[in-house]
Structure 1
Amino acid sequence: MNSRFKLSGSGLSLSLLKIILIIQVLLIIYPIAFTVSASFIRENSLSAVGTIPFSKPFSLMQFKRLFSETNYGHWYLNTLKVACMNTVITVFVCSFTGYIFSRFWFPFKKTVMASMLVLQMFPSFIGMVATYVILWKINALNTLWGLVLVYATGSIPYNAWLMKGYFDTVSKDIAEAAYIDGATPFTAFIRVVVPTARPQIVFLALTSFTGPWMDYIFPRLVLRSDEKKTLAVGLFDLINGRSNDNFTMFAAGALLVAIPFIIFFVKGQKSLLMSLAGTGGKE
């Protein structure tokens, strides 16, 4: 009797767990399916989509409107430029900074590291007024490089600490072996240490790319003209106002936004998992 009760109890628990997982999957998939369905209908209003996704005739009208009636192509290219430039600068600067903090000693090292850590305690929007004034003084308002400057400098403290923590786990023997072979510290870093830290560098590149991709606050503060807008600002303007008749075109634009995310995460998922697991380059 006890064994039968245990078997029936475990079967009931398994069935309940399956039901909970199915509900969670539906809650996650339904909004995505609704957005995809909304982007492939002819009507402009969301009320025309219907409760059941993909119940309307298939149409590419919203994608045609997106590229013919708006500057979506410019917004997409602007966002891609900002994300790529921010990724390159952040990876380059933070990798070198983290390695220097991890391997070398210099005056006020602990003070600088502590100050970088303290800076991360304050929300970024606290310095928005100062940021605006600085960009105005250097003629960087309504420019993409000004936006990149904000993103790159703002991400240095946290990402430098992130890279330092990872380099602390990398064996010093590999760099010392390169020194014995006649390599300079720079050569040893580029040719020996960087390949070892590849999982963490890929993780840093992914986060640096995705961070500014759909950010709204700073692009709204810095950018003014329509041809300089990023995706977040441009898409929000499509549904902002009294008319609000571009929701399905907004859905089409939001669907295209996901393409770079899919490509980057598919290509870098192995390194990303290694970085999150902390298995790359440990002694």
Structure 2
Amino acid sequence: MNSKTRGSTARKAKEGLRVTGMYVFLVVICVVIIYPILWIIFSSFNPSQSMFSSTLIPKEMSLSNYVWLFTSPDSDYLLWFCNSMKISLTVMVLQVALVSFTAYAYSRFSFRGKKFGLLIFMVLQILPLTSAMIAFYALGILLGLVQNHAHAYLIAIYVGSAIPGNTYLVKGYLDNIPKELDEAAYLDGAGNFTTFFLIVMPLAKPILAVQALWAFMTPLQDFVIAKLIIREPELNTLAVGLQSFVSGSMTGGTQMQFTKFAAGSLLIALPIALLYIFLQKYLISGLTAGGTKG
């Protein structure tokens, strides 16, 4: 076997090891991701309340946990679900609307302080929402929003905190829409609002779909801010309410209802999945777009 053949064989062996290692890594990642999901799914059908089971698939499967969530007088799950949907839908509409206006202004108009404003937006998006928890709480107490308008205050926090980063993202997408379209619309007699609603926004549907999905998911997934602001049990969101199942507060600390928690948390994915299916045709191009520019 000459050196050229040996070199080719070595390269093939090296490439084979690389591909094998990649597949092994992907399999491990899939197991790490899929196993907890399967555990939650099968736990939700477990009639007992134990966190642990001798097998992944319970020996007896039942819908009792789901039935309990919606029919038991001790369950406020439907109330929590309605609270979360109200907040999520409102946040989604307001966030998409406000981010659209601000991103359009930064993309299409020149004004004093534009670069400084974008710089501030870039800095603000680096800071996590939880870094302002104390400020949010203190301001809410001083204005009486925590005591009297907890849901409205939560909506304001979610929407306001998302504007800087999302404006920067949507602006990057709008920058790629040719301004010649705006100029052609102006020549035809269209004003700024007509151009915004009939020319630019229809072309920006992919990035707006991404914004809508993110905005809808945030209140459903957030526990820390909601727990800080909400003080009345009847105002609980799903994340805050479900925490009472595993903290034992629902049963006075005597029992932790892990399987009911699994059933309730699994149902949170349903509205997100439905919205994803509805927006799916826009999401692929939207998720790969929006890179900042200039």
What is the TM-score normalised by the length of structure 1? 0.89
- Aligned runs of 1:13-28 on 2, under 5 Å? 14-15=19-20, 17-28=22-33
2:59 corresponds to 1:56: yes
The answer on whether the counterparts of 2:84 and 2:237 sit within 8 Å (CA) in structure 1 is yes
**CA spacing shift, 1:94–1:13, aligned 2, 3 Å:** closer
The answer on whether the counterparts of 1:71 and 1:226 sit within 8 Å (CA) in structure 2 is no
RMSD: 2.4
Q: Over residues 225-244 of structure 1, what are the superposed CA-to-partner deviations in whole Å (9 max), with x where a residue is unaligned?
A: 11100111111111114434
Identity in percent: 35
Amino acid at match of 2:165: Y
Alpha-carbon offset, residue 118 of structure 1: 2.8
Task: Give the gaps of 5 or more residues in structure 1.
Answer: none
Alpha-carbon offset, residue 218 of structure 1: 1.1
Task: Give the gaps of 5 or more residues in structure 2.
Answer: none
- Aligned runs of 1:100-119 on 2, under 5 Å? 100-119=105-124
Q: Which of 264, 267, 273 lines up with 1:262 in the alignment?
A: 273
Q: Over residues 189-223 of structure 1, what are the superposed CA-to-partner deviations in whole Å (9 max), with x where a residue is unaligned?
A: 10010011111111111111112211011111111
The number of residue pairs the alignment matches comes to: 279
**CA spacing shift, 1:71–1:192, aligned 2, 3 Å:** same
Equivalent residue for 2:137? Answer: 132
Equivalent residue for 2:68? Answer: 65
2:285 corresponds to 1:274: yes
The answer on whether the counterparts of 2:173 and 2:290 sit within 8 Å (CA) in structure 1 is no
Equivalent residue for 1:176? Answer: 183
The whole-number CA distance in structure 1 between the counterparts of 2:132 and 2:236 is: 22
The whole-number CA distance in structure 1 between the counterparts of 2:137 and 2:11 is: 66
What is the TM-score normalised by the length of structure 2? 0.86
Q: Over residues 86-121 of structure 1, what are the superposed CA-to-partner deviations in whole Å (9 max), with x where a residue is unaligned?
A: 111111011101111111122322233323333334
**CA spacing shift, 1:25–1:131, aligned 2, 3 Å:** closer
Amino acid at match of 1:145: A
Amino acid at match of 2:202: P
**CA spacing shift, 1:59–1:166, aligned 2, 3 Å:** same
**CA spacing shift, 1:99–1:12, aligned 2, 3 Å:** closer
Alpha-carbon offset, residue 59 of structure 1: 0.5
Q: Which of 38, 43, 47 lines up with 1:38 in the alignment?
A: 43
The whole-number CA distance in structure 2 between the counterparts of 1:82 and 1:120 is: 22
The answer on whether the counterparts of 1:91 and 1:205 sit within 8 Å (CA) in structure 2 is yes
**CA spacing shift, 1:30–1:190, aligned 2, 3 Å:** same
Q: Over residues 35-91 of structure 1, what are the superposed CA-to-partner deviations in whole Å (9 max), with x where a residue is unaligned?
A: 1111001111123x33x3223212011112223122111111111111111111111
**CA spacing shift, 1:72–1:120, aligned 2, 3 Å:** same
| SS of alignment partner, residue 33 of structure 1 | helix
Alpha-carbon offset, residue 19 of structure 1: 4.1
Alpha-carbon offset, residue 276 of structure 1: 2.4
The whole-number CA distance in structure 1 between the counterparts of 2:281 and 2:255 is: 42
The whole-number CA distance in structure 1 between the counterparts of 2:237 and 2:220 is: 8
Equivalent residue for 2:208? Answer: 201
| SS of alignment partner, residue 46 of structure 2 | coil
Q: Which of 192, 202, 225 lines up with 2:199 in the alignment?
A: 192
Alpha-carbon offset, residue 23 of structure 1: 3.3
